[in-house]
Structure 1
Amino acid sequence: MFNDIIQYILGLGAAIFLPVIMIILGLCVKMKIKKAIISGITLGIAFTGMNVVLGFMFNSISPAAQALVQRTGLQLTAIDVGWAPISAIAWAWPFALFMFPVQIIINLIMLALKFTDCLNVDLWNVWGKILTATLVAYITGSVVLGFVAGGIQVILELISGDLVQKRCYEATNIPGVTCTHPMFLQGPYLALINKILDFVPGINKVNVDAAELKKRIGIFGENSIMGFIVGGLIAFLGGYAIKDILITAMSVATAMVLFPMVAKLFMQALAPIADAAGTFMKSKFKGRDFYIGLDWPFLAGCSEVWVIAIVLVPIELVLAFGLSQMGLNKLIPLASIINIVVTPPAMIIARKNLLRMFIMCIIATPSYLIAATQFAPQITQMAADTHTLQTQTGQLISWMQIEAPEFRWSIVHALNGDASGIAGIAIFAILFVWYFMYMKKRSNAQLSKKE
């Protein structure tokens, strides 16, 4: 009965679930009822609006990208089914609901011990921890190890939220919030690439974001024009007729213009709650600044996220083919071909520098394809065992946007006792320590300049 109630609530989706959480949080931090309800409903409108625009965007560009896949003649055995079926597989795990108290308790303990200043209210994305736990439990046969992996991910997401908070504010101007989405666990690898680019002549002198691009190339830097050109190019490469090329181009241009408009609703919804939560927490814990951990869509109003995500499409196909020839990839990028889990962290690390984002995302893309290929047999079997998704004999399913693929692959195989996984998680741990110091140093330098 309890499980059915929870599943029903989760089934309402983030646009209902998170506003309810935020209204409750607002009331707990002594917001007026009217203000809390308006903020919560506005947040729901922001999520709904963003999902509408995302759906519109994907429905426009994904068929063109799939046509491009067919034109390349890629013959691969694993199909990229997108996040929704994968989340259903995660929720079907018998122990899934126990991840809620694990996340909440760890968060409260870390707040009390001053190991974090982030209150993660993004309970919707607890399924990301469940997925990691499910993969570990399925491969190792140990539910306990699954929860160990999930708990480690909770801790890392909170620390990551602390590290990127100032840059999230810099990118969005929304105060008192940060992103605790698992996509940011790729931060250590992206930061390492960014650091290396500091020493590459030419590249280290270029700093062009969407606003600067608009200044340099005039009309071609406008969101609408960039969307029209890139959308039309993908449709052209997919072999579309002129009419359909123009329709796709206009649809992508429309989405590029609407993203920043919808993103303003996040600021309108979150700023009052963040201010109230900050004031309340400061009254209880003198001298500390607190912020709220959220899902990634509040970053979706940044044009850089979409410019790079769309430009990456043909490159992903080239890499998918090249890696398949090397025996490293069996996945056909379909549902997740607009890889929106790599561009937001790249944007935050590169501080909207489009050239650096582009290079970082190209270098990072193979890890998504390889990890998705590696997990395809387990995900396919998990889907069959839970009766979530049935496939034909010999047909594999997976998910290209497997979020922080290096971390997920490493921790799963490390807890299984595999030497490669142990080496991978050791490398991740070393990089994460370096990343912690790197981001802290950059944040302090940023504050010093402001002062």
Structure 2
Amino acid sequence: MNAVNDVVQYILGLGASVMLPIMLTIVGLIFRLPFGKSLKSGLTVGIGFIGINLVIGVLSNNLGPAAQAMVKNFGVSLTVIDTGWPSAAAASWAAPVSAIMIPICVAVNLIMLFTKTTKTLDIDLWNYWHFIAAASTGYIVTGGNWWFAILCGILYEIACLLIADWTAPMVEDFYGLEGVSLPTGSTNAFGLIGIPVGILVGKIPGLNKIDVSADTIQEKFGIFGEPMMMGIIIGAVIAALGGYDVGGIITMGINLGAVMFLLPRMVKILMEGLIPISEAARDFLQKRNGDSDRTIYLGMDAALTTGHPANLATGLLLVPITLLIAIILPGNRVLPFGDLATIPFYVSFIVAHRKGNIVQSVITGAIVIAFALWMATNFAPVHTEMMRGVYEFPAGASQVSSLDMGGNVLNWLILKLSQLFAGAPL
């Protein structure tokens, strides 16, 4: 098992930009796409992901210090630190169940695909860490019960595949991602709560008549309504809240304006490579099953949606709002930090379901984040146990958690199921 785990860790250590070209070239060949086209598609997707990661890196590197500055300015003192999804992913991959869960998750997906219980072929191997995190949760709470841990991971995966199927038409309609679904665990979990909450928000008298989308903002404000300018303005406001000087405010604004301008272009590059494989997969499976009407989706990372101006604007506006909610929310002990730059991932389905209405999306997102903070607070003891020996705890933090894993309703339900099975206090 240690040897298998070492191989898995080595492959994963290559990163998505290397894994995806290899995976997609193999997938293309399986679905009878010529080698040259398969390789070109795989490499194009890998290059697109490099571009997306570079731009998201700019976002994270700017929002992280700004968040710290805002916390210092507002004098916030919360004892559970949000260490972000990277640390949660690292802890998941280091868990005892990680090596065995990857082939199990692949097998479950293929069985569901060929029994027509899902339409999604999840090739986003890196994000299997969400399934492994659920298995690790069950493993820790039950004191090392392997079978129950595996069941937890499978249940989480099934939920993500079904949610991905359900939301795929909406993803295609709003984001233009044809033949793609998004089985990313955190995006699915936030959407599961966010879509019904958004429906209720959309029924509030007065609010239901407000339609502030990226298009309407651009139409009313001209150049100042363009995504680039929206990023500059929002970035400047965040920097001002962090107490930056004039130079820092301008720099922050320009950097977030660059994110708003570049990210959609990176997504377009990635989609250039993805479309031929998506079409080949659909044609192959339709012929094999004798069902010309059958739809097959390629399961991809929700990063594909973060380039939409409404998504980015909603996510950036929610950064200071999330910190404010954390301060005033009764019962919350989590200080949001590591996952602030990942909020655009969490609101992907919310923004799409609200059809890009930024006002309704921000209000919906704020409500969902309040629930996420409560769940992350409740999850902190198990989250902390999972991180021991993998992550160096920040000074002054008695416990750690994250919005991505601890504030994720699917993983929180796995936590409650595990506690019920183990006879532990809920």
Fold shared, TM-score > 0.5 on shorter chain = yes
> Which one-letter code corresponds to 1:56 in the other structure?
V
Map 1:33-432 onto structure 2 (within 5 A): 33-141=35-143, 142-182=145-185, 183-287=187-291, 288-323=294-329, 326=330, 328-338=331-341, 339-384=343-388, 387-391=389-393, 395-402=398-405, 405-417=408-420
| 1:254-297 superposed Cα distances (whole Å, 9 cap, x missing partner) | 11100111111122011111111111111101221212111111
2:374·2:407 contact (CA, 8 Å) conserved in 1? Answer: no
The range that moved more, 230-239 or 281-290, is: 281-290
| Structure 1: gaps (5+ residues) | 424-451
Q: 1:4-39: CA deviations, max 9, x gaps?
A: 222100001111112211110001111111111111
My pick for the range that moved more, 367-376 or 81-90, is: 367-376
Pair 422,169 (structure 1): closer, same or farther in 2 beyond 3 Å: farther
**CA distance in 2 between partners of 1:155 and 1:421 (Å):** 25
The amino acid across from 1:112 in the alignment is: F
RMSD over equivalenced CA pairs, Å: 2.1
**Residues 184 and 404 of structure 1 are in contact (CA less than 8 Å); yes or no, is this contact kept in structure 2?**
no
CA distance in structure 2 between the aligned counterparts of 1:97 and 1:215, rounded to whole angstroms: 52
**Alignment CA distance shift 1:364-1:98 (3 Å):** same
Equivalent position to 1:11, from 13, 37, 51:
13
Q: For 1:135 and 1:93, locate their aligned partners in 2 and report how far apart those are by CA, in whole Å.
A: 10
Please tell me whether the aligned partners of residues 156 and 410 of structure 2 are also in contact (alpha carbons under 8 angstroms).
no
Note closer, same or farther for the CA distance 1:159–1:68 as it changes in structure 2 (3 Å cut).
same
Q: Structure 1 residues 420 and 188, CA, compared in 2 at 3 Å: closer, same or farther?
A: farther
Distance, in Å, in 2 between the alignment partners of 1:178 and 1:33 is 25
Match of 1:447 in 2: none
Letter in 2 for 1:102: I
1:411 deviates by: 2.3
**Distance (whole Å) between structure 1 residues aligned to residue 421 and residue 155 of structure 2:** 18
Aligned partner of 1:292: which letter? L
Q: Structure 1 residue 342: deviation in Å?
A: 2.1
- Give how far 1:56 is off: 0.8
Aligned to 1:430: none
Compared CA separation, residues 124 and 235, structure 1 to 2 (3 A): same
- Counterpart residue identity of residue 399, structure 2: L
The residue type equivalent to 2:133 in the other structure is: L
The 1:260/1:66 distance shift into structure 2, 3 A limit, reads same
1:300 partner amino acid: T
| Structure-2 separation of matches of 1:299 and 1:397 | 28
1:85-125 per-residue CA deviation (whole Å, 9 max, x = no partner) reads: 21111111112111112212211221222211111111211
- Secondary structure, in 3 states, of the residue corresponding to 2:104? helix
Amino acid of the structure 1 residue aligned with 2:194: L
Conserved 8 A contact 1:81-1:398: yes
1:44 Cα deviation (Å)?
Answer: 0.6
Q: Which amino acid aligns with 2:182?
A: C
Long gaps (5+) in structure 2? none
The alpha-carbon distance between structure 1 residues 394 and 296, as it changes in their structure 2 partners (threshold 3 A), is: closer
Identity, in percent, stands at 32
d(CA) in 1 for partners of 2:396, 2:234: 38
Distance 2:168 2:232 in 1: 32
Instruction: Read off the aligned partner of 1:294 and give its amino acid letter.
Output: M
Amino acid at match of 2:23: I
One-letter amino acid of the counterpart of residue 181, structure 1: T
Partner Cα separation in structure 2 for residue 318 and residue 139 of structure 1: 32
Rounded Cα–Cα distance in structure 2 between residues aligned with 1:99 and 1:314: 37
Name the SS for the 2:344 alignment partner. coil
In 2 relative to 1, CA 356–421 (structure 1 residues): closer, same or farther, beyond 3 Å? Answer: farther
Give the distance between the partners of 1:187 and 1:58, measured in 2 at CA.
22
In structure 2, what residue type is equivalent to 1:400?
L
Structure 1 residue 174: deviation in Å?
A: 2.9
Alignment-mate amino acid for residue 200 of structure 1:
I
- Measure the CA separation in 1 of the matches of 2:224 and 2:148: 52
Q: How big is the shift at 1:394?
A: 6.0
Q: Could you tell me the TM-score, scaled by structure 1's length?
A: 0.88
CA distance in structure 2 between the partners assigned to 1:179 and 1:422 by the alignment: 34
Cα pair 1:229 1:249 within 8 Å, conserved: yes
SS in 2 for 1:159: helix
Partner Cα separation in structure 2 for residue 419 and residue 318 of structure 1:
36
